Amino acid sequence: MTTAAGVIPAPGPASSRRLADFLTLTKPEITFNVVVTALAGFLAAAHGAVQVERLLHTLLGTALVAGGASTLNQWAERDLDAVMRRTVRRPLPAGRLTPRQGLVFGLLLVAGGTAYLAVSAAPLASTLAAVTAAAYVLVYTPLKRVTSLATVVGAVPGAIPPMIGWAAARGRLDAGAWMLFLILFFWQMPHFLSLAALYRRDYARAGFRVLPVVDPGGGSAARQSVLYTLALLLVSLVPATLGIAGAIYFFGALALGVGFLYYGARFVIAPESHAHAASLFRYSLLYLPALCLLMALG
Name the residue type at position 167: A
Predicted confidence at residue 11, as pLDDT, reads 55
State the greatest distance between any 2 C-alpha atoms of the chain, in Å, as a whole number. 70
65 contacts 130 by C-beta, under 8 angstroms: yes
185: CB partners within 8 A, 6+ apart: 155, 156, 158, 159
Classify 87 as helix, strand or coil.
coil
Which pLDDT does position 2 carry in this prediction?
39
Q: Which parts of the chain register pLDDT below 50?
A: 1-10
Regarding the domain delimited by 20-171, which CATH topology (the fold level of the hierarchy) does it fall under? Tetracycline Repressor; domain 2 (1.10.357)
Q: Is the dihedral of CA 291, 275, 153, 94 positive or negative?
A: negative
Contacts of 67 (CB under 8 A, 6+ apart): 25, 26, 27, 28, 31, 109, 113
Using CA atoms, how far apart are residues 107 and 115, in angstroms rounded to an integer? 12
Report residue 107 CA to chain centroid gap: 18
Contact indicator for 203, 213 with CB cutoff of 8 Å: yes
- How buried is residue 144: exposed, middle or buried, by Cβ count under 10 Å (0-12/13-18/19+)? buried
Q: What is the 3-state secondary structure (H, E, C) of 29-63?
A: HHHHHHHHHHHHHHHHHHCCCCCHHHHHHHHHHHH
Distances (CA, A) of 33 to 85, 181, 209, 210, 256: 24, 14, 25, 22, 17
Nearest to 123 by CA among 172, 175, 177: 172
User: What is d(CA 194, CA 259) in angstroms, rounded to the nearest whole number?
Assistant: 15
